[in-house]
Amino acid sequence: MGAKAGLVGRDRETTQLAEALAAAAEHNGHLIAATGGLGSGKTALLTTARELAARHGFTVLAARGSFLERELPFGLVSRLFVCVSPDDAQNQPRIAAALGQSDVLAEPGPATLPELHVLHRALARMAGERPVAIVVDDAQWADLPSLQWLSTLPHRIEHLPVFVLAGVGAGEVCTGPQTLEELLAAATGEIRLDELAQHATRTLLENELGPLSDGFVAAARREAGGNPLLLLNLARAYGDQVEGLTAPALLPTLNVRLRRLATHAQDAMHALAVLGGEVTLPRVAELIGIEPCELAGTIAALHRMGLLSAEGALVHPLVRNTLRKSLTITERQDLHAAAARLLTETGASAEAVAEHLVETRPQDEEWATEVLTTAAQRARSRNKVVDAVRYLRRALAEPNAHDLLAELGEAESYVDVQAAVDHLAEADPAHPALPALLALLGEEPEFEADAIGDPDVLPSRPSEFDAYLKAVGFVRMRGELTAAYARVDRALTVARRWQHRPCTAAALTARSACLRDLGRLTAAEADAREALQTLESCGAARLSTPVFNALTELALALLEMGDVETASAVFEVVPSEVPDLFGAPALLAARGRVRIAAERRKDGVRDLLDCGERLHARHNDAMSWRLYLGGEHLYVEERLARSLNAVLPLAAALREQAHTLGVEGIGLLQESVDLLAPTGALLERARSHFALGRALHLAGRVKPARAELRTAVDLADDCGVEDLAEAIRQELAAGPAGLTESERRVAALAAEGKMNREIAAVLFVQLRTVEIHLTKVYRKLGIDGRDQLAPALRLAG
């Protein structure tokens, strides 16, 4: 049976109720107890039961236990039988009073057996006329006589057409706990309302918000613990995200339940919301000023209500956030301050105490500074830099903490460049970390040659990172691309473990370059974009070398993929006159290439020449900016690449030179192919094989030409560069373009499997003519025999 609107994810429970109703209709009475904590959907289930019973022809008697009327004898019974007058009521004054048949108030006290007998007889007479369904919500708040009557029903309705459903709020205060236990023990069935499953959570949320992503549903379920009430409150409070939301509309219901539970229950919940993971019964009791023995029962009840875990912590982040938000700033700070002192006295870790201190006003006490600095040091040792920064910033607010400026600045250099510069400069204007940080802000000193590290020795600290990546750059330049990628990838893992954002961005940029060389262009683009996001997150200036480097790699990856328009847009954040930063030449070279590809050759050439001038001023000729200018520049590039053993630039220079030589450039192209063969540079290899295949075609060497072209098209496909792959296919198709009409007819018939004599008969020609035509076809297509004809003709179109 499907769930109705408003009742989601309870198909199994609804089916159980329908089966019990069917059995009751056959004089097999059932009493089912439905138990659930706050917001579990108990009331919605009982509403569904009432509607089911009415549809099946039952007389429905429904009422709800009232906390405010729990001292009124037979108050619940009176609401159940409000339209029914038991005939024997006049003999039972309390029942008559409860049913409004007397002007005398019912007297307090337990139910008597005659009173219970009267009610049982009345129910039996009703059931004799028509099946009866009794639905009681919040039975735990029923008055004691009514609860006694309910607890005796299972033994009285065994052979009657009566269905009873009693909803019990787990952990709630009860007027007669022992009587309630009797009821639960005697019930013929029990339904426990647990948290909603993932699919039910999705249905409930989408009923409120429309279609949602898997990530949103999972996050919402995590925040609300699969609790229907909390999920609905979360959906109605939903803004741009789920995490950290509060649900103020939940507070009235929650506060009423807590006040009914115990006078100190609200204080306990606020203390639990503040204490977080450092929950123990003595600590909570100390924080709210009561004895642990007095609190124990309340904690147990909160656990039964589904609000606390077995360890005593709040289960639902949404409840915790809402409770914390309900406190004033002063109340919250006071609770955190008290928790910090309490945790310090009871031996909690420095980090646990520091989490409370960061939420308080300055304590003006030495112990607070000591705890915060200790916690920061431990956080640094565990690579939790963001936490270390929070603790040190809070410590700096304490009196006499000025000597922490340098320590704070060093920690901030991992995540917040501008703050790090401010604090380090104040602590020590000559601090050795300042130059690198200033470069991130675009304030570079005069260019000086930097140290080169050892590519086989991974950096052990951030100050060694730049030198290590430069060393790996030389490995990449030599064409050892797989080795370079592996080293950069390990460096990225280290930087992420450190949580050092500038180092992480540098490693991502370097890995993007390696991926581009390897022909993995989509991954190269992703790394470059992540590098830019990481730099932005730590406050790096847009006009700075690290940002220029990441922009360069992003533009080149897009250019290699053939997306010239997006590659051009990358440089919109850079002024036309590029500032003279260390990363400017590489950016100019990339922008020049992109502008030439976008048919802005004049602007592109100007960028390339500007790049060359800046490199010359720095006595640095290691960048391949000349490749895209042509002419004599190519020979200069070749000589320089040979002197530096720069494999990829050399292979590209040879290829470009050969392009101007036609057939005479075949030797240069073969050298280019051979140089690239061991490198793994898929895209560059595709280009060189393509150029060699085209030159061989021009020389009439069809078979080797087609072999080179097939290799080239496979490599281009592996890189996902569709424009290049299509150009290679067109070159492949150029072979059959030289077939005569007669040769095409012969080739087509042979491809169908016909023998030479059959072809001669079909075309009315001599057998020798067929043989001559086929020989020419094989040579022009670059194949060895007729078994290769069909695929060769298909490839040629």
Average pLDDT per block of 10 residues along the chain, 797 residues long? 60 92 92 90 92 93 89 86 58 57 59 80 88 93 90 90 93 86 89 89 86 86 86 77 78 87 89 83 89 90 86 85 88 91 90 93 88 94 93 90 89 94 92 90 67 82 90 90 94 94 96 94 96 96 95 95 94 93 94 93 94 87 80 85 88 87 86 92 92 84 87 90 86 64 84 89 86 82 80 66
Please report where in the chains the tokens 């029942």 appear, as a residue: 95
Residues 499, 415: contact at Cβ < 8 Å?
A: yes
pLDDT of residue 664: 82
Residues 180, 174: contact at Cβ < 8 Å?
A: yes
Residues 659, 691: contact at Cβ < 8 Å?
A: yes
Q: Quick one: which H or E segment has residue 756?
A: helix 756-763
What are φ and ψ of residue 342, in 5° steps?
-65, -45
Q: In what order do the strands lie in the sheet with 59-64?
A: 59-64, 132-137, 162-169, 30-36, 189-192
Rounded to the nearest 5 percent, the helix, strand and coil shares of the chain are 65, 5, 30
Cα separations (Å) of 386 from 174, 333, 352, 377, 546?
A: 48, 22, 15, 12, 21
Q: Which structure tokens are listed for 335?
A: 């609770």
Residue type, 379: A
**Using CA of residue 757, residue 760, residue 765, residue 770, what is the dihedral sign?**
negative
pLDDT of residue 118: 82
> Structural domains in the chain?
11-194 (3.40.50.300), 241-409 (no CATH), 462-623 (1.25.40.10), 640-734 (1.25.40.10), 738-796 (1.10.10.10)
Q: Which structure tokens are listed for 182?
A: 């009797």
Q: Quick one: which H or E segment has residue 163?
A: strand 162-169
Q: Quick one: which H or E segment has residue 486?
A: helix 481-498
Strands 189-192 and 162-169: unpaired
Report the residue count for the chain: 797
**Using CA of residue 269, residue 273, residue 278, residue 284, what is the dihedral sign?**
negative
CA separation for the pair 118, 114 (Å, rounded) = 6
Q: Quick one: which H or E segment has residue 328?
A: none
Residues 775, 747: contact at Cβ < 8 Å?
A: no
Residues 39, 204: contact at Cβ < 8 Å?
A: no
pLDDT of residue 250: 84
Please report where in the chains the tokens 């606390």 appear, as a residue: 308
**Using CA of residue 188, residue 193, residue 199, residue 202, what is the dihedral sign?**
positive
- To the nearest 10 degrees (0 to 180), the angle between helices 329-345 and 281-288 is 130
CA separation for the pair 143, 151 (Å, rounded) = 12
Residues 591, 555: contact at Cβ < 8 Å?
A: yes
- To the nearest 10 degrees (0 to 180), the angle between helices 682-698 and 647-661 is 20
Tell me whether residue 585 is exposed, middle or buried, using C-beta atoms within 10 angstroms of its C-beta: 0 to 12, 13 to 18, 19 or more.
Answer: buried
Among 257, 134, 112, 254, which residue's Cα sits nearest to residue 187?
134
Q: Could you give the angle at the alpha carbon of 69 between the alpha carbons of 64 and 70, nearest 5°? A: 85
CA separation for the pair 323, 43 (Å, rounded) = 24
Cα-Cα end-to-end distance for the chain: 60
- To the nearest 10 degrees (0 to 180), the angle between helices 317-326 and 265-275 is 110
Q: Which structure tokens are listed for 400?
A: 């006499």
Neighbours of 791 (CB within 10 A): 12
Q: Could you give the angle at the alpha carbon of 489 between the alpha carbons of 483 and 493, nearest 5°? A: 145
CA separation for the pair 776, 779 (Å, rounded) = 5
Q: Which structure tokens are listed for 243?
A: 């995490």
